[in-house]
Amino acid sequence: MTNSKINPNVFWGASAIIAALLATTLAMPGTADVAFKAAQSWAIDTFGWFYISAVAVFLVVVLTLGFGPAGRLKLGPDDAEPDFPYLSWLAMLFAAGMGIGLMYFAVAEPIQHYISPPEAPSGTILAAREAMAITFHHYGVHAWAIYALVGMSLAYFTYRKDMPLTLRSGLSPILGKRINGPLGDAIDIFAVCGTVFGVSTSLGFGVSQMTAGLAYEYGLPDTITVKIIVIVLVMGAATLSVLSGADRGIRRLSELNLTVAILLMLFVMAVGPTLFLLRALVQNFGLYLDHFVMRTFTLYAYEPRAWMADWTLFYWAWWIAWSPFVGMFIARISRGRTIREFVIGVLFVPTAFTFLWMTVFGNTAIALDLGPAAGGIADAVQANLSTALFKFLEYLPAAGVTSTLAIALVAIFFITSADSGALVIDTLASGGAEETPRWQRMYWCVLLGVTATLLLVAGGLGALQSATLLAALPFCFIMLLLAVGLIRQTNADLAGVTLPGDAPSVAERIKRLLVPARRADIVRQIKRNGEPALQSVREAMEKEGWSAIALDRRDDIVELTFTAADGRTFVYRLTPRSRPLAAFTALDAPEGRRSLTWLLAAQTNGETGFRDLSGFTVDQIANDVLSQLERWRLTDSVKRPVADTKSP
C-alpha cells in the first residue's frame, strides 16, 4: 500500500490473528466463553504463585532502578528536556492507566469487599476497613510498577539507545540482532493483539456504564442500538483526537479529563462526610503500609479460597495484560525524564491520587450504605455494577448534575483510552515510527470500535476478556526478560561499556577519555562485545566454506585462530592491557605513584604492538577482525608469486 510506514509482518500478522479470534468468538460466543474462562482459571490456579512473585520482582526492580545509581540516567540524551510539562505528563499517564476502571469501580469495588470480605465478618466496621485496604492494594504501587517497568524499558532503549519504539527493543541486551527477525515480530504481534483486545473489552465496559447512566438518569433505553450509537459517536471523537497526535488532541483531552475528575471528587468530598474522609484517608494509608509485605505475598496457600483468584490474581493478570498498551503510551510521552523522575511520577503520584479518589468515593459509599442508604448502594452494586456510581450519587446533593458530569467523564475516559490505544498499536505495527500516515491511525481506531461493537452485539465480551487475561501469562515471562535487559543495559551505561549492537554516545566516549577504565570494565566489554564479534566472524567464515577456525577462551582472553591450507596461521587476540595515565593528568595518584587505565587491546599474529578498541561495538570489532584478515591475506598473496613461479 502506498504512503505507509507499516512493518508488514506485524501489521498483517496481527490483523489476521485479531480477525481469526474475533470470528471464532462471534461464531460461537458461548463455547468460546466457556473455553477461554476455563483456560483462564487454569492459568490463575496453576500460576498464581508466579503472578504474585513476578509482580513483587517488578516492584523491586523499578524501585532499585529509580533510587539507585541508574536513577540519574535520562530517558534520552543527557541534554534532553521533557517533551511535556509535568502536569500534562501526569494527566496523560493517569488517563491512559486507569481512567475507566476508576470510574467503574470507585464505588463498586469497596462496596463488594465490604459485602463479601475475604476474612472479616460481612457488613461490619472491620469489613469496611478491610475493604479499603484491599482496594488500595489492588490500585497501588504494584499495579503502577507493572506499567512503569514496561514504560521505562521502552523509553530507555528508544530515546537513550536510539532504537525503535517497540517491545522487542527492550530485549536487545539478551537477544542481540535476533530481535530484528521472526522472534521480534512475534513479540510485537503479541503486544498488538493484547492491546486491541484489552482496550476493546475496556471500551465495552465503558459503553455499558455510559448507557446504564443514560438509562438511569434520562430514561433512554439501555439497548444494543443505543450502545452502538454511543460507540460510533465516541470513536468518532477518538479518531479526530488520534489524528491530531499526542501533542494536541490526546494531551488536551487528558488535561480536561483530570480537571473534570478532580472537580467531581472535590464536590463529593465537600458535600460528603469531609472530616471522616480525611481521617479515613490517613488510616487507609496506614493499613496499606502495615499490610504491604503480607499482601504482596499472600496466596492463601494454607486456606485456599476462590476470593484470591477472583480479585488479586485477576487484577495482576489484568494489569500485566494492559501493560504493553499503557507502558508504550507512557514511554512515548516520557522522553527527557530521568529514571528517578520517571519512577516518582509513574509510581507514586498516580498512586497517591488513586488513594484519594478511592477514599472519597469508596468510604463515602460505605458510610452512606451504613446510614441513609440503609443497604441501597450494596443492593445496587449486586444488581448491576454499571449503575452503582449513579445510585451512589443519588444520596448526594445535585444528583442530576453530578450524574451528567459522571457520564461525560466516562465518555472522556473512553475517548482517551481509545485514541491513546490506537496511537500505541499504530506505533507497534509500524516498527516504532512515531509519525505515520493518517490512514494507519484511523485503521486501528476503527478496528477498536468495530471489535467492541461486534462483541457487545454477539455477547462475546466476557470471552475476549478471558482471552486477554490468559495472554498475561506468556507476557509475564517477557516482562521478566525486559527487567533483565534493562538492568544489564543501565549497568553497562554506568560502567561505560557497551552491549551487543549498542553504539556509545558522544558523552560516553568523552567520559572514557576523562575517567580511567578498570580491568573489570574491559573484561565485561570482552564478554559482551568482543566474544560475540569474534563468534559472528567465525560463523560467517564457516558459512562461506572456510574451515580450520577455532575460537578459544581462557582467563580474560578471547582468541580467533584460522589455519590456511598451506599451514600459515592467522591469530586475532583480545585481551585487557594497562598503561599509566599521563603524569600531568588530574587523576594522578598521590605519593608519586602513577594511576593506571585499562584498555581493550587487539593483537594479530603475535605482534608486540596493539590496537586500542576500548568502547568499540560488536560490529566495529568484527570490522577490525576482517580488516586484519584482509591485510594478512594480502601479505600472503604478495609473498606467494616468488614461490609460485616454479610451479607448472
Reported residue count of the chain is 648
* DSSP class of 581: P
Q: Evaluate if residue 391 carries a pLDDT over 80.
A: yes
Residues 414 and 545 in one domain: no
| Low-confidence winner among 9-13, 150-154, 202-206 (lowest mean pLDDT) | 202-206
User: What's the rounded mean pLDDT across residues 548-563?
Assistant: 84
* DSSP class of 250: I
Within a domain: residue 116? yes
Residues 477 and 571 in one domain: no
Q: To which residue does cell 449486586 refer?
A: 382
Q: Determine whether 170 is exposed, middle or buried from the number of CB atoms within 10 Å of its CB (0-12, 13-18, 19+).
A: buried
Share above pLDDT 90 across residues of the chain, in percent, rounded to a whole number: 23
Q: Evaluate if residue 65 carries a pLDDT over 90.
A: yes
Domain at 154, CATH number: 1.20.1740
Q: What is the largest CA-CA distance in the chain?
A: 113
- Residue 483, amino acid: A
- Residue 569's pLDDT band, with cuts at 50, 70 and 90, is confident
Write the pLDDT tens digit of every residue in 488-500.
Answer: 999 888 876 555 4
Residues 429 and 517 in one domain: no
Check residue 606 and give its pLDDT: 67
Q: Evaluate if residue 418 carries a pLDDT over 80.
A: no
* β-pair partners for 559: 552, 573
Within a domain: residue 500? no
Check residue 327 and give its pLDDT: 87
User: What's the rounded mean pLDDT across residues 317-324?
Assistant: 85
Distance, CA of 576 to CA of 520 (rounded, Å): 9
Check residue 464 and give its pLDDT: 65
Give the neighbor-by-neighbor strand order of the sheet with 569-580.
549-554, 557-563, 569-580, 596-604, 611-612
User: What's the rounded mean pLDDT across residues 79-95?
Assistant: 78
Within a domain: residue 1? no
Distance, CA of 117 to CA of 125 (rounded, Å): 11
Check residue 506 and give its pLDDT: 52
User: What's the rounded mean pLDDT across residues 366-390?
Assistant: 87
Residues 273 and 318 in one domain: yes
Check residue 350 and give its pLDDT: 87
User: Where is the domain boundary, 495, 519, 551?
Assistant: 495
Residues 379 and 525 in one domain: no
Check residue 3 and give its pLDDT: 54
Domain count across the chain: 2
Q: Evaluate if residue 324 carries a pLDDT over 60.
A: yes
* β-pair partners for 636: none
Within a domain: residue 142? yes
User: What's the rounded mean pLDDT across residues 510-525?
Assistant: 70
Check residue 248 and give its pLDDT: 59
* β-pair partners for 643: none
Closest alpha carbon to 632 in 561, 553, 533 = 561
Q: Evaluate if residue 159 carries a pLDDT over 80.
A: yes
C-alpha cell at 92: 496523560
Show contacts of 391-398: CB within 8 Å, 24+ apart: 391/216, 392/107, 392/361, 392/364, 392/365, 392/368, 395/368, 396/268, 396/271, 396/272, 397/271, 398/267
Q: Where are the alpha helices (DSSP H) in 272-387?
A: 274-290, 292-297, 306-310, 312-332, 339-343, 349-358, 364-370, 376-383
The secondary structure of 507-524 as a DSSP string is HHHHHHHHSPPPHHHHHH
The secondary structure of 171-238 as a DSSP string is GHHHHGGGGGSHHHHHHHHHHHHHHHHHHHHHHHHHHHHHHHHHHHHH----SHHHHHHHHHHHHHHH
- Residue 442's pLDDT band, with cuts at 50, 70 and 90, is confident
Residues 154 and 292 in one domain: yes
User: Where is the domain boundary, 495, 530, 545?
Assistant: 495
User: What's the rounded mean pLDDT across residues 388-413?
Assistant: 86
The whole-angstrom distance between residue 238's C-alpha and the CA centroid of its chain comes to 23
* DSSP class of 72: G
Range of the domain at 489: 8-495
Q: Evaluate if residue 630 carries a pLDDT over 50.
A: yes
CA dihedral 267, 271, 274, 277 (to 10 degrees): -70
Dihedral of alpha carbons 613, 615, 617, 620, sign: negative
Write the pLDDT tens digit of every residue in 272-315.
Answer: 999 999 999 999 999 999 999 999 999 998 888 888 888 898 88
Within a domain: residue 2? no
Residue 161, classed as helix, strand or coil, is coil
Q: Evaluate if residue 582 carries a pLDDT over 50.
A: no
User: Where is the domain boundary, 495, 526, 546?
Assistant: 495
Check residue 290 and give its pLDDT: 94
Distance, CA of 209 to CA of 214 (rounded, Å): 9
Give the chain's mean pLDDT.
Answer: 81
Write the pLDDT tens digit of every residue in 248-272.
Answer: 556 677 777 778 888 999 999 999 9
Q: pTM surpassing 0.85? A: no
Residues 401 and 522 in one domain: no
Within a domain: residue 323? yes
CA distances to 222, 318, 468 from 146, in Å: 35, 10, 16
Within a domain: residue 77? yes
Check residue 244 and give its pLDDT: 66
Residues 482 and 603 in one domain: no
Residues 196 and 277 in one domain: yes
Distance, CA of 485 to CA of 241 (rounded, Å): 34
Within a domain: residue 609? yes
Residues 144 and 251 in one domain: yes
Residues 114 and 193 in one domain: yes
User: What's the rounded mean pLDDT across residues 177-205?
Assistant: 82
- Residue 628's pLDDT band, with cuts at 50, 70 and 90, is confident
Residues 539 and 462 in one domain: no
Write the pLDDT tens digit of every residue in 136-152.
Answer: 999 999 999 999 999 99
